[in-house]
């Protein structure tokens, strides 16, 4: 069956995302050698011992020692392959679906995949590994390929050893397993616990109980001895005792505006589900939100965590049924797309930004509602 025109548009949009991601990754990894980007991928076990996020860095250091290829080129080559494979699979995911205009609305959502062009600094972050593993799993399920439980466990553990934030998105994997696999309710819950939640929790406890600091006293010297001098230390000068709450208080309004982005993102998904007659389990949303609370408390990159949530939700939901939209519904969706094209959510502190007139209006309304609620609780 010939793909609909909207599928071609989605493919073009994804091609743009791919180009921007590769271009930005090259800039951040090879040209700028940023400590928050290149440095993040080089956390390893060789410069001090077992630590969080050191899995891939250990492999890259080993490749550098054997081949003498510059670390930045090794990592860029790896990310080039990962992004190429991910976007190939993403296009493949959409290509075989009967897409309507609402699917395009999800792809362009600034709080989801749209962030790749709205704030390109999201590129080269480690969650691309989460996205790749998840879309591979979704495509296997759609193709009726049986994925062994121990394989799911392995991928979860690799993701957590890449970045511990993966632990806080495990409900996505568990929910997908629950709704896409056959078997009794008790059997599926048992397997989710044994093969997903328990191993992941044990690894997290080991990381935080026995793992050493990401930045050891010789980390920077170790990288220098391997031919790399970072343009900025980034994660290698981050204070693990940094007062996160004080930072939130200093940037209170900026972080509050993430609520606007979340609400607009949620409305976009609500409209998608409503018009396509798709249901998302309320229990899943509650559980996934509960899992994310510690992450939002501990880490400053709120835009990043929101982006991961909506991106994973997009991958999951596009394999469900789609309806043929009426003319009125298409116009409504088109207006929503235009509105979503007008705003941006940044990686950190810039929770919601749009063109000045609309930005001022929305934030006045937001201020009014916020202080009304605030005064209720104060009084």
Structural contact between residues 354 and 346, judged by C-beta atoms closer than 8 angstroms: no
* DSSP conformation letters of 187-218: HHHHHHIIIIIHHHHHHHHHHHHH-B-SS-TT
Cα–Cα distance for residue pair 19/263, rounded to 1 Å = 29
- Give me the DSSP letters along 295-332: HHHH-S-HHHHHHHHHHHHHHHHTTS--PPPPHHHHHH
Residue 167 lies in a domain: yes
Q: Quote the CA–CA distance of 186 and 265 in Å, as a whole number.
A: 33
- Residue 165 counted as domain residue: yes
Task: Give the separation between CA 377 and CA 379, rounded to whole angstroms.
Answer: 6
Residue 86 lies in a domain: yes
Number of Cβ within a 10 Å radius of residue 36: 20
299: in domain: yes
Count how many domains the chain has: 1
Query: How many Å apart are CA 52 and CA 129, to the nearest integer?
Result: 16
Residue-wise DSSP of 84-116? HHHHHHHHHHHHTS---HHHHHHHH-TTTTTHH
Q: Is residue 272 part of a domain?
A: yes
**pLDDT per residue rounded down to tens, the chain (379 residues):** 456 799 999 999 999 999 999 999 999 999 999 888 999 999 999 998 999 999 999 999 999 999 999 999 999 999 999 999 999 999 999 998 889 999 999 999 999 999 999 999 899 999 999 999 999 999 999 999 999 999 999 999 999 999 999 999 999 999 999 998 888 999 999 999 999 999 999 999 999 899 888 888 889 999 999 999 988 888 888 887 788 889 988 888 889 889 999 999 999 999 999 999 999 999 999 999 999 999 999 889 999 999 999 999 999 999 888 888 999 999 999 999 999 999 999 998 889 988 887 778 877 777 777 666 666 655 5
DSSP state letters, 148-188:
PHHHHHHHHHHHHHH-GGGGGGHHHHHHHHHHHS-S-HHHH
Q: Identify any residues that bridge with 353 across adjacent strands, giving them in sequence order.
A: 344
What does 339-367 look like in DSSP terms, one character per residue?
HHHTEE--SSS---EE-HHHHHHHHHHHH
- Report yes or no: 180 and 213 within 8 Å, Cβ to Cβ: no
| Closest of 304, 239, 234, 301 to residue 34, by C-alpha | 234
Sign of CA dihedral 9, 12, 13, 14: positive
Domain assignment present for residue 364? The answer is no
Q: What is the pLDDT of residue 378?
A: 55
The predicted pLDDT at position 35 comes to 85
Residue 12, in any domain of the structure: yes
In a domain, 375, yes or no: no
Instruction: State the residue range of the domain holding 192.
Output: 5-251+258-348
Look at residue 376 in the predicted model and tell me its pLDDT. 61
Residue 172 tokens, joined? 């996505």
68: helix, strand or coil: coil
């Amino acid at each position: 069956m010939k793909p609909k025109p909207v599928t071609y548009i989605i493919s073009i949009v994804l091609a743009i995302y791919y180009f921007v991601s590769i271009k930005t990754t090259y800039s951040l990894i090879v040209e700028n050698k940023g400590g928050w980007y290149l440095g993040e991928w080089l956390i390893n076990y060789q410069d001090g011992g077992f630590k969080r996020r050191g899995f891939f860095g250990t492999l890259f250091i080993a490749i550098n020692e054997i081949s003498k290829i510059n670390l930045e080129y090794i990592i860029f080559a790896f990310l080039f392959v990962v992004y190429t494979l991910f976007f190939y699979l993403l296009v493949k995911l959409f290509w075989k679906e009967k897409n309507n205009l609402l699917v395009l609305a999800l792809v362009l959502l600034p709080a989801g995949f749209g962030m790749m062009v709205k704030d390109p600094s999201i590129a080269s972050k480690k969650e691309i590994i989460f996205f790749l593993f998840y879309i591979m799993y979704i495509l296997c399920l759609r193709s009726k390929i049986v994925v062994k439980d121990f394989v799911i466990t392995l991928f979860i553990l690799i993701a957590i050893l890449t970045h511990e934030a993966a632990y806080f998105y495990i409900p996505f994997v568990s929910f997908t397993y629950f709704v896409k696999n056959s078997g009794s309710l008790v059997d599926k819950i048992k397997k989710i616990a044994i093969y997903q939640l328990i191993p992941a929790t044990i690894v997290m406890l080991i990381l935080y109980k026995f793992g050493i600091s990401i930045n050891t006293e010789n980390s920077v010297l170790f990288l220098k001895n391997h031919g790399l001098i970072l343009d900025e230390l980034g994660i290698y000068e981050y204070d693990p005792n940094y007062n996160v709450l004080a930072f939130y208080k200093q940037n209170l309004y900026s972080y509050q505006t993430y609520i606007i982005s979340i609400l607009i993102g949620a409305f976009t998904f609500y409209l998608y589900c409503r018009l396509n007659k798709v249901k998302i389990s309320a229990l899943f949303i509650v559980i996934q939100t509960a899992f994310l609370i510690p992450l939002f408390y501990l880490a400053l990159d709120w835009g990043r965590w929101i982006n991961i949530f909506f991106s994973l939700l997009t991958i999951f939901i596009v394999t469900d049924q789609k309806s043929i939209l009426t003319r009125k519904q298409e116009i409504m969706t088109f207006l929503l797309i235009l509105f979503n094209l007008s705003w941006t959510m940044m990686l950190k502190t810039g929770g919601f930004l749009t063109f000045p007139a609309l930005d001022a209006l929305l934030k006045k309304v937001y201020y009014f509602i916020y202080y009304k609620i605030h005064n209720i609780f104060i009084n």
